[in-house]
Amino acid sequence: MERMQSDRDFPAAERVRLMQVSSTMAVLQAAERLRATGVRVLDLGAGEPDFPTPEHIKEAARRALAENFTRYTPAAGIAELRAAIARFLNEHFGSTYAPEHVIVTAGGKQAIFNAIVTLIEPGDEVLIPAPYWVTFPQVVTFAGGRSRFLPTEVNEFRLTAEMVGEAVTPRTKLLILNSPCNPTGRVIPPEEFRRIVEMAVARGVYVLSDECYREFVYPPHIPFSAASLPEAMRERVLIVGSFSKTYAMTGWRIGYAVGPHAWIREMIKVQSHSTSNPTSIAQKAALEALTGPQESVVTMLREYQRRRDFLLEALNALPGIRCAVPEGAFYVFPDVREMMRARGLRTSEELEARLLEECQIALTAGAAFGAEGYVRISYATSLDVLQEAIARLDRFARARA
Ligand code: PLP
């Protein structure tokens, strides 16, 4: 019998060898190991709502099961859901999308993956404002492209059209926008968003607008979508959305992309040969989420705002931490450079490890998102946990190196 190949000998393809395991997952795993030993870890690392999926959505899934809606669906998703997604954007943002402009995917993540691999060829450049969500550059690498990061720290994490204009080269094929942003919570104001897309399109660059946190903006801001841009501009824009955060449905794996027919058609081709369709039952649940009562979204948003407001005030009262006001998503991204200095720590990763060890707090180093000197704190957790975390952080911040 042939001997099993050792792990080291496995000839992984280069495009995969170049990819890295998600660093946000690494923190969660370290926290999990600690928790398994009986320690109470405060988890501020999670990128998912702590709320249960609303009851009426779960009921729709139970109904789908009872009706044996358990077979393959079209690769692009069921017709009613594609139509509902197009209608949602058209009604809220004045676009004129048809169901053919929509693909339903296994989470926003699969939409992003399909979008990038259908467009990017070896040697193509992709502009990614930094800090960024960790998956963007990894998928660009997988596609053989090159990520070029646009640092926004100099401008309080606000991207401008000028920054984009200066970074575009003849090789630039795609610009990725993510507003509200993971990890900073920053929202690009609508006028600036339009100027940015105008600039990109004028230079022949496509735009991927990741709107997974679209509904999570705090007053006076209101949800904005690239769907509200003029039609001519949208010929180069792909919108990615997700049910994960808006309806607390991370495990159901339903997202979507809406954009130019040709781009969507190619994405459907990729999907049809990889995962086929997203789960039939989850699609029925997503249809109910989008077309049923929306009160749960309002309730969750109100609670996130309460937590954000608490956290901002409490963090800014701690020595060595400065936290700007994020307009959306459920993260704060404080500047911890002074705290690092005071504790003799050189990198945000060292701080992340120290906080887990000394305070049993799991959060994510800014370096993971391309911004050293910061950490990401998720407030998709109860106010009780946040209050206790602040008490522990306070002790940590007051201790000397
Ligand atoms: N985009 C951003 C910025 C995210 O933070 C996430 C999830 O964390 C996603 C997309 C993908 O979410 P999902 O695949 O659950 O829809």
Q: How far is Cα 17 from Cα 32, in angstroms, rounded to an integer?
A: 26
Asked whether 177 and 188 are in contact (CB, 8 A), the reply is yes
* Pairing relationship of beta strands 364-365 and 375-378 according to DSSP bridges: antiparallel
| Rounded distance from Cα 213 to ligand 1 centre (Å) | 8
Determine the average pLDDT of the residues in 304-322: 96
Question: In this structure, what are the phi and psi dihedrals at residue 322, rounded to the nearest 5 degrees?
Answer: -130, 130
Question: Is 132 inside any structural domain?
Answer: yes
For residue 8, pLDDT over 80 is answered with no
Question: Is 60 inside any structural domain?
Answer: no
Question: Is 222 inside any structural domain?
Answer: yes
Interior angle at CA 48, CA 42 and CA 50, nearest 5: 65
Q: Are residues 264 and 374 in the same domain?
A: no
| pLDDT tens-digit readout, 89-104 | 999 999 999 999 999 9
Instruction: Report the CATH number at residue 190.
Output: 3.40.640.10
Q: Please tell me if the CB atom of residue 373 comes closer than 6 angstroms to any atom of ligand 1.
A: no
Q: Are residues 143 and 270 in the same domain?
A: yes
| Torsion, Cα of 259, 263, 267, 268 (10° steps) | 80
Q: How far is Cα 238 from Cα 220, in angstroms, rounded to an integer?
A: 26
Q: How far is Cα 146 from Cα 349, in angstroms, rounded to an integer?
A: 25
Residue 400 has what pLDDT? 66
| Rounded distance from Cα 242 to ligand 1 centre (Å) | 7
Which residue type, as a one-letter code, is found at position 385? V
Whether the upstream peptide bond of residue 334 has omega within 30° of 0, thus cis, is: no
Q: How far is Cα 41 from Cα 99, in angstroms, rounded to an integer?
A: 45
Interior angle at CA 267, CA 263 and CA 271, nearest 5: 170
Residue 5 has what pLDDT? 59
Pocket residue to mutate for ligand 1, from 136, 179, 244, 253, most atoms within 8 A of Cβ: 244
| pLDDT tens-digit readout, 41-58 | 999 988 889 999 999 999
Q: Please tell me if the CB atom of residue 249 comes closer than 6 angstroms to any atom of ligand 1.
A: no
For residue 31, pLDDT over 90 is answered with no
Residue 3 has what pLDDT? 55
Q: How far is Cα 57 from Cα 50, in angstroms, rounded to an integer?
A: 16
Q: Please tell me if the CB atom of residue 210 comes closer than 6 angstroms to any atom of ligand 1.
A: yes
Residue 401 has what pLDDT? 54
Residue 140 neighbours by CB distance under 10 Å? 23
Q: Are residues 222 and 350 in the same domain?
A: no
**Tokens found for residue 222:** 């209101």
Q: Counting beta carbons within 10 angstroms of the beta carbon of residue 357, is it exposed (0 to 12), middle (13 to 18) or buried (19 or more)?
A: exposed
Nearest ligand 1 atom to alpha carbon 109: 14
Instruction: Report the CATH number at residue 317.
Output: 3.90.1150.10
Residue 21 has what pLDDT? 78
Place of tokens 């841009």: 229
Q: Are residues 272 and 369 in the same domain?
A: no
| Rounded distance from Cα 3 to ligand 1 centre (Å) | 40
Q: Are residues 140 and 202 in the same domain?
A: yes
Last residue of a domain, one of 241, 276, 291: 291
| Rounded distance from Cα 46 to ligand 1 centre (Å) | 12
Pocket residue to mutate for ligand 1, from 133, 256, 331, most atoms within 8 A of Cβ: 133
Question: Is 128 inside any structural domain?
Answer: yes
Last residue of a domain, one of 291, 316, 339: 291
Determine the average pLDDT of the residues in 330-346: 96
Q: Are residues 389 and 307 in the same domain?
A: yes
Q: Are residues 35 and 140 in the same domain?
A: no
Helix, strand, coil percentages, rounded to 5, for the chain: 45, 15, 40
Q: Are residues 102 and 203 in the same domain?
A: yes
| pLDDT tens-digit readout, 124-158 | 999 999 999 999 999 999 999 999 999 999 999 99
For residue 167, pLDDT over 90 is answered with yes
Determine the average pLDDT of the residues in 246-261: 98
Question: Is 82 inside any structural domain?
Answer: yes
Q: Please tell me if the CB atom of residue 242 comes closer than 6 angstroms to any atom of ligand 1.
A: yes
Determine the average pLDDT of the residues in 342-361: 94
Determine the average pLDDT of the residues in 280-300: 97
| Rounded distance from Cα 24 to ligand 1 centre (Å) | 12
Residue 9 CA, distance from chain mean position: 34
Q: Are residues 116 and 187 in the same domain?
A: yes
Q: Please tell me if the CB atom of residue 250 comes closer than 6 angstroms to any atom of ligand 1.
A: yes
Determine the average pLDDT of the residues in 248-270: 98
Q: Are residues 121 and 269 in the same domain?
A: yes
Q: Which segments of 292-347 does DSSP mark as H helices, in order?
A: 295-316, 337-342
Determine the average pLDDT of the residues in 340-368: 94
Length of the chain: 401
Q: Are residues 249 and 367 in the same domain?
A: no
| Torsion, Cα of 256, 133, 131, 327 (10° steps) | 60
Pocket residue to mutate for ligand 1, from 212, 246, 331, most atoms within 8 A of Cβ: 212
| Rounded distance from Cα 212 to ligand 1 centre (Å) | 6
| Rounded distance from Cα 240 to ligand 1 centre (Å) | 9
Per the structure, the complete domain to which residue 163 belongs is given by 70-291
- Terminal alpha carbon distance of the chain: 58
Q: Please tell me if the CB atom of residue 109 comes closer than 6 angstroms to any atom of ligand 1.
A: yes
Question: Is 61 inside any structural domain?
Answer: no
Task: Work out the mean pLDDT of the chain and round it to a whole number.
Answer: 95
Listed residue (247, 208, 228) closest to 90, CA to CA: 228
Total count of domains within the chain: 2
DSSP state letter for 332 = E
Asked whether 99 and 257 are in contact (CB, 8 A), the reply is no
Residue 292 has what pLDDT? 98
Q: Please tell me if the CB atom of residue 47 comes closer than 6 angstroms to any atom of ligand 1.
A: yes
Nearest CA to ligand 1 atom 8: 47
Question: Is 65 inside any structural domain?
Answer: no
Question: Is 2 inside any structural domain?
Answer: no
Last residue of a domain, one of 232, 257, 291: 291
Q: Are residues 257 and 143 in the same domain?
A: yes
